[in-house]
Structure 1
Amino acid sequence: MTLPEAWVLGAGPFREIGQPRVTATSPNGDLIAVGGGLGSAQWHGRTASRGSGSHPLAVYRTDDLTCIHQVTSRWPAQSVAFHPTLPLVAFGTGSYDGGWSYEGELLLLDLTTGNAVSLLEHPRQVRQITWRSPETLDLVLAIPCDADEQRFGTTSLACSISRDDWDRAAVGMLRMPYGEKAVPEQPPTDTAAAVAAVSHLCRQRGQVWAARRGVWAVEGLADGRILTTLEGVGLECWSGTTGQLLWQVPVDGTGCQIRVLPGGRTALVLTQAPRRYREGRWIRDPSVVLEIDLDDGAVRKTHKSSCPAVLVSRTDGSWALRDTDHDRRSRTAGEVTFGPPADSATTIQLGRYDLFNHFFDIRYAPELLFLQGRRGEPWRGKWVVAVDAPTGRVRRLFPLEWDAPRGRHLFGGSGAYLDDTAGPALVHSGAVHDRAGLLPGNAFVLRRRYPTGEPQWIFTADREATALDADDTFVYVVFNSGELIVLKAEDGVVHVRQELRIAGRPVVPLSLARVGAGRLAIGTLDGQVLVVPVDAPA
């Protein structure tokens, strides 16, 4: 069987909402509303979370499990309830910010239009929703902030709101005071009940529900097969012609990076176990690099790092690990060690690493490339440096900031080395740091001469680039806004610009790779892989 031009790998029922948190069924049983969580768009070596939504709310038909509406909240879902007579469903969301406030919102989704309205005048965590009657909505809200706990003796406050205009909802129309009264502490949201409800519904329809999380890396092989790595999966291999899953290597933790070694018979995969709480603090185990045979998925070797790390490689197969430990007590933070074939006992220190500043993942690099900042202030004044293996000699190539008089604080990102008619170059993404967050136009994709670093063109964006690949003709970039942009490699002119959707629903892309002539594979935050031709709508 030959698949159509565009298809999805890893698809399944309720994929849009990730891990179910809360559910409710409509009065006639035709619909189910689900609030879920896609997990954090972040791992120990990088973040793609700036501005990306990971708390989806969706409504499905129960007969065929089709998603008919989907919206995203800033906070995780805590409760959901269908209106008894009107085509409306209310979602309560929110969380404690860890230091002072209990923020969230009450969203009312119109099942006719698909529009959602945030009803509360000020952000408040909404813990429980019950429609007492068509006019009256009973709520349990969290206290606004820590200072109120002493006043009320609890963090939960109940109120009732009666209105006859729920079908004409407007933003912020529920204004204080709400007439709240203290009630006993609310138990945490029972996510197991939501998982059971979704699993049961899938079994009734002859389907199987399984959670999948963000696809952090994707690679194409010369024979058309597609490799992916994600939470719970070190590596999985898909047929490039039928879309069939050929084999899978499970892991306890998250697959973060893939490197296909020269010859295309073996891949390295960086994996990381979940954090553990011990002796009053969160700790991370060392990263593990798996050496996997691409014929059958057998793990041939296991390379255990001494720390959490990121993997950096060059085209001849040499690779290195950079310590990403954020603990200031760590003696090895920022240390670089070499893997085979160098396998040198030499270690070098590039300064402390953090996932906002120093992630610099360059495809097809002729050298081992890193970002290095100032001594004592490693987040400032970063340079692109090349590290020779196995000697460990560090060569400064050029500053990350290409316009020295501006002296901006730049973050690293994904990139690719290319050598076309315009000469050798490095194309990489990044962002300009600002205390107010990522401002419009402060994300960028930049082509610069290699190894001197002079800029050749720059493309600016409002949202963060999450992955990049390139060939002699085009540079392919995805953004956490859900957009794919294809730029001409020579001058940066936009060739294709399109929103990525699966089954009509927007997705957050995390990874991207060329997987054959004119085709891209794009890994998403909800655990799917969208395979598309470059010039056709996705």
Structure 2
Amino acid sequence: MIFPLTVDRILADRPRAEFGRSVLTVAAPGGTHVVLGGHDPQGSADGYPIGVYAAPAPGADTSALQAHPPALQWLRTGWRLRAAAFHPTLPLLVLGTGSYDGGYFFEGELVLLDLATGEHRHLFEEGCRREVRSLEWTDARTLRILLAPYDDWEDRAAWREGHRVDLVRPDWRTVPAHSVRDTELTGPRVPAALPEPTPAVAAPDTEEPRPGEIRSLTVLPDGDILLTADHVLLERWSARGQRRWSVPADPDLGGGRTSVALPEGHSAWVETLGPRHGDSGTFLRIDLSDGTERERLTTPGPAALVTTSEGPLLVPMCAGYGERARSRFRHGPHAIFRDIAGSPCVCDCPWDDDEDCDCRCGCPACAVQGPDAEVWLTTVDTHHTRHPADLALPAAVRCRRLFPWSWEPGETHSGGPGVGVGETDLIMATVRHDGRADLPVQGFVTRRSVAEGSTGIPSWIFPVDRTPTALDIDPATDTVLVTLSSGELIALEATTGAFLARGHVLVRGVPVIPTAVTVIGPGRILLGTSDARVLICCLKPT
């Protein structure tokens, strides 16, 4: 089922955030112009974004583009955009992509986009990767392509020369995917310099740091919103989208990971993004009226900020390889965290990049044997005698290990977001790794009991194909909302884990990647994105 979600309002926006500084302006038949853009995805596994936009009429104010008009079409490609050309008579657009792989090869693809249907087809046959440097329609049947040579091995001229190829098809609307054979891509050697992109149609350069991922969203009793992000420690926004104040990221500490407002309503504690696990943690108490710093606390070891029925609390976080010290559970009466036991690694192992890894290697100096090698889900017993503004690690006697983090013996699961349900249950997300340094191979959303004596065996398990980035529950509809690193939002029935809906979140026709989700009322949610947007969304009943 397609996710029944609409974006009511964009609370915080970043003009043309998805395109950076690389765009092409291409003339379409009849004199209409369309702007296409793309940029390096900064390590994104989902490829390079390309959007098709209507350009302003001649003489019109270009600020219309800066206001981010809706995308006419949108897709992602395996390499960055190099060239584009509209068909002279049909609603078709051909895209050429490519890049140098850093070793020998020039790789890329040829994509045909149907502007009427939104369908796109990759035309090169499977296994054929040729960088496209120039495209031109010589007539309605013939597409002229300039291709980079395969590689620059003993051929430095490959950077400024290529091969000219004419592809002829009687009807380009019916060209099948992967139908252009490698044998067709031979032609005379001609000048084919790498094209330079035109200046981006985007917001002007500023001295502000590049906006980054939204890490957390918290709604205050008066309806205002607190957000933490890569580029800010803490910001306060009104529900109507007015930024009241902002605390920029610290050069040494980075931005903010999460925040917890104090019960007195005048200040909030913020957990900073840096430094990395294995070092100390730094926490700032910020005045909510003007954003000034009231207090600063540095812990001797890694710790995370959590919210409980007794107010903000710190928990120890001895993270394993590839994880940062964090606890991403909320709404429960108790603090819950991932407890990794064992001594620090002291050998010169491949994973010991911070000199405090938890690789469980087999050398005599740091091997961990017996039950202490387990990774546990641990809770902190409530204690209401302390002052709610104080922030400190709980005494060891208050920390109770409940059950192993992974419900399957021998599996390695890393931490993810979670929410408390009532007094005894927890809905949580994890990802399974086949090795300490490997990418996650499987994600899960599960419901587990945290009652006294519970074994931790999930009452339901819902597998997902990407890493969960955020999770919350709508108690009015008993719906769990999970966002994934692919940009999808999934809705599950909280009691049974039954699938309800899934789909991508679109902003002006462009998919975004949600990184934070907070339910603000029945059927209404806040979404934070990887490009620093904050969206107020509505879930339509189905």
Instruction: Tell me if TM exceeds 0.5.
Output: yes
Identify if the C-alpha distance between structure 1 residues 418 and 142 changes in structure 2 by more than 3 Å, giving closer, same or farther.
farther
Alpha carbon RMSD of aligned pairs, Å? Answer: 4.2
Which whole-Å CA distance do the structure 2 matches of 1:238 and 1:35 have between them? Answer: 30
TM-score normalized by the length of structure 2: 0.71
CA contact (8 A) 2:304 2:314 kept: yes
Partner deviation per Cα, 1:66-106 (whole Å, 9 max, x = no partner): 3111111234x241322362544343334566678654423
SS at match of 1:353: coil
Q: For 1:2-401, what aligned pairs fall within 5 Å after superposition? A: 6-11=8-13, 13-15=15-17, 17-27=18-28, 28-37=31-40, 39-40=42-43, 53=46, 55-63=48-56, 65-75=69-79, 77-83=80-86, 85-86=88-89, 87-95=91-99, 103-121=107-125, 122=127, 124=129, 126=131, 128-131=133-136, 133-134=138-139, 135-141=142-148, 143=150, 148-153=151-156, 156=159, 158-165=162-169, 166-177=172-183, 178-179=185-186, 193-195=198-200, 197-199=201-203, 212-240=211-239, 242-251=240-249, 255-263=255-263, 264-272=265-273, 289-302=283-296, 311-315=304-308, 316-320=310-314, 336=317, 350=318, 352-355=320-323, 360-364=327-331, 366-367=334-335, 369-372=337-340, 377=359, 382-386=375-379, 389-392=393-396, 395-401=400-406
How far 1:304 moved relative to its partner?
Answer: 6.2
Which whole-Å CA distance do the structure 1 matches of 2:294 and 2:144 have between them? Answer: 60
Partner deviation per Cα, 1:6-48 (whole Å, 9 max, x = no partner): 2222236534x342323223252531111135545xxxxxxxx
How far 1:57 moved relative to its partner?
Answer: 0.4
CA contact (8 A) 2:39 2:49 kept: yes
CA contact (8 A) 1:226 1:515 kept: no
Which range moves more in the overlay, 385-394 or 128-137?
385-394
Which whole-Å CA distance do the structure 1 matches of 2:39 and 2:121 have between them? Answer: 18
Letter in 2 for 1:107: V
Which whole-Å CA distance do the structure 1 matches of 2:173 and 2:396 have between them? Answer: 67
Identify if the C-alpha distance between structure 1 residues 11 and 471 changes in structure 2 by more than 3 Å, giving closer, same or farther.
closer
Count of residue pairs the alignment pairs up? 465
How far 1:446 moved relative to its partner?
Answer: 0.8
How far 1:137 moved relative to its partner?
Answer: 2.8
CA contact (8 A) 2:209 2:231 kept: no
Q: Which residue of 2 aligns with 1:445?
A: 445
Identify if the C-alpha distance between structure 1 residues 260 and 509 changes in structure 2 by more than 3 Å, giving closer, same or farther.
same
Identify if the C-alpha distance between structure 1 residues 66 and 458 changes in structure 2 by more than 3 Å, giving closer, same or farther.
closer
Q: Which residue of 2 aligns with 1:329?
A: none
Which whole-Å CA distance do the structure 1 matches of 2:472 and 2:15 have between them? Answer: 30
Q: For 1:500-515, what aligned pairs fall within 5 Å after superposition? A: 500-515=505-520
Which whole-Å CA distance do the structure 1 matches of 2:419 and 2:233 have between them? Answer: 23
How far 1:434 moved relative to its partner?
Answer: 5.3
Identify if the C-alpha distance between structure 1 residues 498 and 91 changes in structure 2 by more than 3 Å, giving closer, same or farther.
closer
SS at match of 1:217: strand
Letter in 2 for 1:251: A
Identify if the C-alpha distance between structure 1 residues 355 and 481 changes in structure 2 by more than 3 Å, giving closer, same or farther.
same
Identify if the C-alpha distance between structure 1 residues 378 and 104 changes in structure 2 by more than 3 Å, giving closer, same or farther.
farther
- Pick the structure with greater CA Rg: 2
Which whole-Å CA distance do the structure 1 matches of 2:305 and 2:107 have between them? Answer: 39
How far 1:353 moved relative to its partner?
Answer: 3.3
SS at match of 1:67: coil
SS at match of 1:6: strand
Which whole-Å CA distance do the structure 2 matches of 1:175 and 1:310 have between them? Answer: 56
Which whole-Å CA distance do the structure 2 matches of 1:373 and 1:94 have between them? Answer: 47
How far 1:415 moved relative to its partner?
Answer: 0.7
Letter in 2 for 1:260: V
Which whole-Å CA distance do the structure 1 matches of 2:203 and 2:7 have between them? Answer: 31
Which whole-Å CA distance do the structure 1 matches of 2:375 and 2:444 have between them? Answer: 16
SS at match of 1:174: coil
Which whole-Å CA distance do the structure 2 matches of 1:100 and 1:398 have between them? Answer: 51
Letter in 1 for 2:223: G
Which range moves more in the overlay, 519-528 or 451-460?
451-460
Letter in 2 for 1:355: E
Q: Which residue of 1 aligns with 2:531?
A: 526
CA contact (8 A) 1:258 1:267 kept: no
CA contact (8 A) 2:261 2:268 kept: yes
CA contact (8 A) 2:518 2:527 kept: yes
CA contact (8 A) 1:446 1:457 kept: yes
How far 1:413 moved relative to its partner?
Answer: 1.3
Which whole-Å CA distance do the structure 1 matches of 2:158 and 2:294 have between them? Answer: 53
Calculate percent identity across the aligned residue pairs.
Answer: 28
How far 1:509 moved relative to its partner?
Answer: 1.5
Which whole-Å CA distance do the structure 2 matches of 1:182 and 1:386 have between them? Answer: 68
Identify if the C-alpha distance between structure 1 residues 274 and 261 changes in structure 2 by more than 3 Å, giving closer, same or farther.
closer
TM-score normalized by the length of structure 1: 0.72
Which whole-Å CA distance do the structure 2 matches of 1:186 and 1:412 have between them? Answer: 48
How far 1:273 moved relative to its partner?
Answer: 7.5
Partner deviation per Cα, 1:236-294 (whole Å, 9 max, x = no partner): 22222x2333332332676352221332433334445899xxxxxxxx99876443222
Gaps of 5+ in 1: 41-48, 203-208, 276-283, 323-335, 337-349
Identify if the C-alpha distance between structure 1 residues 21 and 180 changes in structure 2 by more than 3 Å, giving closer, same or farther.
farther
Match 1:475 to one of 480, 489, 492: 480
SS at match of 1:267: strand
Letter in 2 for 1:527: A
SS at match of 1:179: coil
Deviation beyond 6 Å, 4+ runs, structure 1:
98-101, 180-187, 284-287, 304-307, 435-439
CA contact (8 A) 1:219 1:515 kept: no
CA contact (8 A) 1:22 1:79 kept: no
Partner deviation per Cα, 1:137-192 (whole Å, 9 max, x = no partner): 3334374xxxx5434346646122212324444322332243378899967x867x
SS at match of 2:153: helix
CA contact (8 A) 1:519 1:533 kept: yes
How far 1:402 moved relative to its partner?
Answer: 1.3
Identify if the C-alpha distance between structure 1 residues 294 and 443 changes in structure 2 by more than 3 Å, giving closer, same or farther.
same
Q: Which residue of 2 aligns with 1:343?
A: none
Say whether 1:466 aligns with 2:469. Answer: yes
Which whole-Å CA distance do the structure 2 matches of 1:125 and 1:272 have between them? Answer: 41
Which whole-Å CA distance do the structure 2 matches of 1:491 and 1:523 have between them? Answer: 27
How far 1:495 moved relative to its partner?
Answer: 5.4
CA contact (8 A) 1:230 1:255 kept: yes
How far 1:111 moved relative to its partner?
Answer: 2.4
Say whether 1:408 aligns with 2:411. Answer: yes
